[in-house]
A and B are shown apart, each in its own frame.
Chain A
Amino acid sequence: MTKNKIYQYLLLVLMILVISLSFLPKIALDPKSFFEFPLIPGLEDKARIIFFHVPTALITVIAYLISMAYGIKFLRKNNMEDDIKSVSAASLGLMFCILATITGSVWAKFNWGSFWHWDPRETSIFILLLIYGAYFALRSAIENPEKRAKLSSVYSIIAFLTTPFFIFIMPRMMIGLHPGSLEIDAQSGQIVKSANTVIEFKMAPNMRVVFFLSMFTFTMLYFWMWNLTSRFLILKNKISSSKE
């Protein structure tokens, strides 16, 4: 069995584990074992969505980072393969961005009342959709392959410079619905930092295991998808250039 097949079957097993571990543990008021998640009033069983919704957002950031990295690589070495890898990373990133928006919207309907609130995190993921939609609009507007590659590499660098701000910083600076945003304290009426910050991450330990495992597994899945799409586009490029 080749090394790649081992990784693929490891991914299969890990994802089966993640999916099972997100649905099998029961939700209990007073969790006593590993297989009991704490009851969060208002969330109850819907809390399990977190194991699927957050990884899509994480993969978006990772994919956009890789798109920037290969954009920089193309600008340094002028190898068309790097541009192809950059596009395929950006297109997968856009797909996961759409998935994060839709899964978040559906969850918001059942937990916060409506499909869209212009909550800071919702707004920032929407802006990211626009930014990377514009990336593809830019690409389709340029005929010459080298010029297209150069311009989209530069754009991918600028676009990723905004991404960490939108995903990690802005939602924590503003009042919002997502955990981690600022809240208005019920008693004093003051704007306070949420109880659930990045550093004092307050997820139950058994949920945390499944959460990080899920993020790792989705990252593995992303890298396989990126590998397949890149190889396909490179092959297509080779065939069409050999036909000319």
Chain B
Amino acid sequence: MESLYKFFENNSLYIVLVINLLIWFGIFFFMQRVEKKLTKLEKEIKSE
């Protein structure tokens, strides 16, 4: 763990990489959730 912290302290650019990837995962899984809810609702409306 300590060596990982030391690595990020000396190469701070990779902190930006990790944050960027985290943001992307957040956006992606949010959009997948929206898609699931939308398809469920569309099926419901269609079956009425």
Residues of A within 8 A of B31 (CB): 224-225, 228
Number of interface residues of B (CB under 8 A): 16
The interface-forming segment of A16-24, A109-117, A136-144, A149-157 is: A16-24
Interface residues of B in 1-25 (CB under 8 A from A): 13-14, 16-17, 20-21, 24
Residues of A within 8 A of B21 (CB): 16, 19-20
| Prevailing SS type, chain B contact patch | helix
With A15-B28, A19-B20: A235-B13 Cβ-Cβ less than 8 Å: no
Closest Cβ–Cβ distance, residue B16 to chain A (whole Å): 6
> Binary interface profile of B, 18-48, with partner A (CB < 8 Å = 1, else 0)?
0011001000100110110010011001000
Closest Cβ–Cβ distance, residue A135 to chain B (whole Å): 25
- C-alpha gap A224/B27 in the complex (Å): 12
Does chain B have a CB within 8 A of A195?
no
Residues of B within 8 A of A6 (CB): none
A19 touches B17 (CB 8 A): yes
Closest Cβ–Cβ distance, residue A222 to chain B (whole Å): 12
A239 touches B17 (CB 8 A): no
- C-alpha gap A228/B20 in the complex (Å): 23
- Quick one: which of B13, B28, B32, B41 contacts A23, CB cutoff 8 A? B13
Residues of B within 8 A of A12 (CB): 28
- Quick one: which of B16, B24, B35, B41 contacts A235, CB cutoff 8 A? B41
Q: Which residues of B contact A (CB under 8 A)?
A: 13-14, 16-17, 20-21, 24, 28, 31-32, 34-35, 38, 41-42, 45
Q: Which residues of A contact B (CB under 8 A)?
A: 4, 8, 11-12, 15-16, 19-20, 23-24, 45, 224-225, 228, 231-232, 235, 238-239
